[in-house]
Structure 1
Amino acid sequence: MLDTPSPSVPALSLADEARDPDAFARDFGASFERYGFAVIADHGIDQGLIDHAWALTKAFFEEPTDYKMQYHLAGKAGARGYTAFGTEIAKDASEHDLKEFWHVGRDLPAGHPYRATMPDNLWPDRPEGFHETFSALYAEFDRVGARLLSAIARHLGLAPDWFVDPVHNGNSVLRLLHYPPVSPEAPGVRAGAHEDINLITLLLGAEESGLQLLDRDGHWLPIKPPEGALVVNVGDMLQRLTNHVLPSTTHRVVNPPPERRGVARYSMPFFLHLRSDFEIRTLPGCVSAENPDRYPDPITADEYLFQRLREIGLLK
């Protein structure tokens, strides 16, 4: 594939959604249709909370491997707790990704039926405040994600609250990602070319260079958000639901130039998921003579998730 510095994904302001929901939905939906990605500034997540979350993320990943491995849940596909460096591999890739990560999921009450496939969270003993900080950040991602889903619904001609029930108690996951420094001879990607499984992804930390999307013309397009902005992308579940009207775009994280490979990279994606038993069935408004239904057979969110986790090596 080729590399090119232009065009670029335009930045939108979530503050505009409050002033003119229809105009924001139009622009947000247009960015998704064109790129499968959008850049969202003025998202409203408290910067003090974000800064504290970055500090705790770095402190945790600086802990010895033996300490971090105490929080690895074998056989749970990395759904909660710690996943070691070099475990995950992109679908059809030959090299494992150069990263380690921690997952925070949704807390469910005792006896809730979704607990059968949504494990309880693990919380490390240190650094102090980890539990409280990331519980608060998870709730903020949930809140902002709901506003963005409302805009997507408007863009698709649905009721603004259409997604409220499908994502209620959804299997959303906050991932704390650490790409350690690598040698100058390391493979060329920190995360191989892939598409996300979930509904939409909200990402903090893309200011550090490396994130690229595969544009329609076969060029790799760098994502360069303003400081503190969210990068939001379509996941495969939304692509399937919309019959590819909203495309789930291939993306990757490449290594920096050799002189920068001694610098670690951190990011925080929030994978916003449907509820476990939601049936993914093509939206009628996304089917036409020019765009016939690619998915006549529905599938539940859990069935689809587990199918994909096997493909990327997290579930055996």
Structure 2
Amino acid sequence: MGLSVIDLQPYLRWREDSLAQTAAAAAVDGSEESSKEFNGLVAMELNDEGLRSSCENVATCLRETGALVVKDPRCSSKDNDEFLDMMERYFGQSDALKRKQERPDLHYQVGVTPEGVEMPRCAVDKELQQVMQTLPADARPHMPTGPDPKWRYMWRVGPRPSKTNFQELNSEPVVPEGFPEWVELMNGWGHKMISAVEIVAEMAAIGFGLPRTSFTSMMANGPHLLAPTGSNLSKYNELGYVFAGYHYDLNFLTIHGRSRFPGLFIWLKDGHKVPVKVPEGCLLLQAGKQLEWLTGGECAAGMHEVVVSENTQEAIKAARNSGRSLWRVSSTTFAHIASDAVLQPLGHFAAAAGAHQYTPIHAGDFVEAELAAINLKRAPC
């Protein structure tokens, strides 16, 4: 069972044309209302039936499978490869050098998270463990025996709020020494990934019958994170070895570029387990828990794990024979709702059958509770 591939270019072209028209109108009119429309605070009218159908397809994918694959002309394979090259060099350093960027006091939300820190959700969530047992044997996740043995680097993307009640979630990024290209490359790739999420979020809102900016307005100044993981395949390469235990993502939408090693498996809403193979030049998106909250449970957060598979082992052998890095790097970005925004079912989703389970909560409070559950938010000493 494959995932739908949706080309974002037609919507991007319509959006750019519409913004150009509203900019021209604002320049001639000079009125406050025209300026608001140009700034994206007033929804642009989408009358193209083909584009509307594409938006409905995005919404359907998120509702029925929790995942989709998109093609965004602004996110090239070259950009992804340059990012992976740098992160392979970073993760290939000694543990002591990497730990200089460790910030446990900031809940590991900037800088590096060493292996053996983050607890997979399935290891601490009894309800999730019960769900795992209900899945067919051939679709059942691996049960990890301890913390994830992966490294991760958290890099803040985009502007931070001038005032927030959640300072630890909106701290300045950490820059490692010895990587002069770091800031430009991380900001460049991270911005492109978040821009792709914003387009998907607009299309999803239209497809759900909500105002176009329903989601993106809540994403403004959110604690978005370019968050690549590094898994050491020269050290951990046994079949079935778990790098990231069965879990959902706590954020709004997660977007991945291509990895050079397979191993990511996702579960569709109907329980099917799917090995992920992102086509060249494409990006994978998954619904996060914040989207589930905003849709009253109609878009369930996508479950996934990363394990060493037979295909992973074949890729390890090929990389070793060609002298390439044996670090499996994910090109993952977490798009968030702003920390001070309130999570609650939007519009008609407030009448969804399970909406009562999603009571209003500040996104920052929700994130901190989730981080505490997986051992990233530590109690004060």
TM-score, length-normalised on structure 2? 0.75
Pairing of 1:211-290 with structure 2 (within 5 A): 211-257=264-310, 259-260=313-314, 263-288=326-351
Deviations 1:52-75 (A, max 9, x none): 211111111111111111111132
Residue 36 of structure 1 corresponds to which residue in structure 2? Answer: 66
1:47 CA drift (Å): 3.6
1:41 CA drift (Å): 1.9
Cα RMSD over matched residues?
2.3
Amino acid at match of 1:294: H
Q: Does 1:306 align with 2:359?
A: no
CA contact (8 A) 2:265 2:275 kept: yes
Most deviating of 240-249 and 219-228: 219-228
CA contact (8 A) 2:293 2:358 kept: no
1:297 CA drift (Å): 2.6
Distance 1:293 1:38, change over 3 A: same
Deviations 1:11-63 (A, max 9, x none): 22112434643122111111112210001123422443322211111111111
Q: Supply the distance in 1 between the matched residues of 2:196 and 2:270 (Cα, whole angstroms).
A: 32
User: How many percent of aligned residue pairs carry the same amino acid?
Assistant: 20
Amino acid at match of 1:95: G
1:101 CA drift (Å): 1.2
Residue 95 of structure 1 corresponds to which residue in structure 2? Answer: 146
Distance 1:108 1:287, change over 3 A: closer
Residue 79 of structure 1 corresponds to which residue in structure 2? Answer: 109
Q: Supply the distance in 2 between the matched residues of 1:128 and 1:154 (Cα, whole angstroms).
A: 41
Pairing of 1:4-15 with structure 2 (within 5 A): 7-15=1-9
1:165 CA drift (Å): 2.2
Q: Supply the distance in 1 between the matched residues of 2:227 and 2:173 (Cα, whole angstroms).
A: 12
Residue 3 of structure 1 corresponds to which residue in structure 2? Answer: none
Pairing of 1:31-180 with structure 2 (within 5 A): 31-93=61-123, 94-106=145-157, 108=159, 112-113=163-164, 116-117=167-168, 118-180=170-232
TM-score, length-normalised on structure 1? 0.89
1:280 CA drift (Å): 0.7
Distance 1:259 1:293, change over 3 A: closer
Most deviating of 50-59 and 299-308: 50-59
Q: Supply the distance in 2 between the matched residues of 1:53 and 1:210 (Cα, whole angstroms).
A: 19
Q: Supply the distance in 1 between the matched residues of 2:221 and 2:161 (Cα, whole angstroms).
A: 13
Higher helix share: 2
Distance 1:48 1:190, change over 3 A: same
Higher strand share: 1
Corresponding residue SS for 1:171: coil
Deviations 1:186-235 (A, max 9, x none): 75321100000000011112563211122345442212221231100100
Deviations 1:232-256 (A, max 9, x none): 0100011011011111121111212
Deviations 1:144-184 (A, max 9, x none): 22111101110111111222321110011111211111445
Amino acid at match of 2:7: S
CA contact (8 A) 1:11 1:225 kept: no
CA contact (8 A) 1:90 1:191 kept: yes
Amino acid at match of 1:269: T
Corresponding residue SS for 1:136: helix
Amino acid at match of 1:125: E
CA contact (8 A) 1:88 1:312 kept: yes
CA contact (8 A) 1:81 1:122 kept: yes
Distance 1:109 1:298, change over 3 A: closer
Q: Supply the distance in 2 between the matched residues of 1:60 and 1:255 (Cα, whole angstroms).
A: 22
Q: Supply the distance in 2 between the matched residues of 1:243 and 1:269 (Cα, whole angstroms).
A: 25
1:99 CA drift (Å): 0.8
CA contact (8 A) 1:170 1:275 kept: yes
Corresponding residue SS for 1:86: coil
Unaligned runs of 5+ in 2: 15-49, 124-144, 318-325
Amino acid at match of 2:176: P
